[in-house]
Amino acid sequence: MLTITAASLAGGQGKTTSCFFLARALAKLGYKVLMVDADPQSSLTLYLGHEVEANQPTLLEVLKKQVAVEDGIYESNYPNLWLIPSDDGLEVIQEYLSSTAMGELVLKKRLKEVRDLFDVCIVDSPPQRTQICLTAIVAADELLIPAESSSKGLHSLVRTLQLVDELKSVDAFEGSILGIVPFRDKWLGRTQAKRSQVSIQDMKEVGIGILVVPSILESERYKQAIDTGRTLEELGYPDLELPFQKIIEVLEKKWLLNKTNP
């Protein structure tokens, strides 16, 4: 099982959007995909239409080893797509991870228990530099860094790259950075907004040697797809799927992914 984490140290950078549409694209191709909502805001859980019921195991119980990992996994409404959900109770995991020896390895170790059940695992990390964020990054074989096409997004990218370097320096992060995903790239007709153009160029300069994938454009169609449960292609906007198609192309070449159900 290949584990991909979307991480960015600021809110509104497109992490959940990237996770959701990448997972759906992989699932549509026949890959068995496990999604992990590691953000206490639980946006990914919401996007997938999952409601956490009372006494229902979530990522909190999975990380604390109170349940078997399989007991915290739920089928989504989409074929080939499963979820380990979260709710705001996940906030309390901070103390547990801080007090546990090598707490940053907890998620990585737990996911190993289900690695034969799925082809790909996609983890949505929180935007703050917390213990949950660290364990989500350390679990990754590949790291995606979504960043808004703005000065805020560039600052988030810089901070995220610095954190990755810190984790590498102590041999905590052994994966690699798959790519940077520009988010909310604004175009006026056929003309790219100056702010977006400058920000994306700065991202390329900051992330020298790191792939910058095609942008997630500023468009209400992503929200429409999430709300209706339809793909962007089904809505008549196949070009908006280009970022996720490019990511999958890179993954398939690099990892020689095999579909469980071709």
Residue 258 lies in a domain: no
Among 30-39, 66-75, 98-107, which is the least confidently predicted range? Answer: 98-107
Question: Is the whole-model pTM more than 0.85?
Answer: yes
Average pLDDT, integer, range 94-115: 87
Residue 255 lies in a domain: no
SS3 246: helix
Residue 128 lies in a domain: yes
Does position 104 have pLDDT exceeding 90, yes or no? no
Residues 176-228: tens digit of each pLDDT = 999 999 999 998 888 888 999 999 999 999 999 999 999 999 999 999 999 99
Residue 181 lies in a domain: yes
Q: What is the CATH number of the domain that holds 34?
A: 3.40.50.300
Does position 109 have pLDDT exceeding 60, yes or no? yes
Residue 17: band (very low, low, confident or very high) from pLDDT cuts 50, 70, 90: very high
Place of tokens 């454009």: 217
Among 66-70, 162-166, 207-211, 254-258, which is the least confidently predicted range? Answer: 254-258
Range of the domain at 235: 2-250
Sheet holding 176-185, edge to edge: 74-75, 81-84, 33-37, 120-124, 2-6, 142-148, 176-185, 216-217
What's the number of domains the chain is made of? 1
Four-residue CA torsion sign, 84, 85, 89, 90? positive
Residue 135 lies in a domain: yes
**Whether 184 contacts 149, CB under 8 Å:** yes
Residue 55 lies in a domain: yes
What are 142's two structure tokens?
Answer: 């590949």
Residue 257 lies in a domain: no
Residue 163 lies in a domain: yes
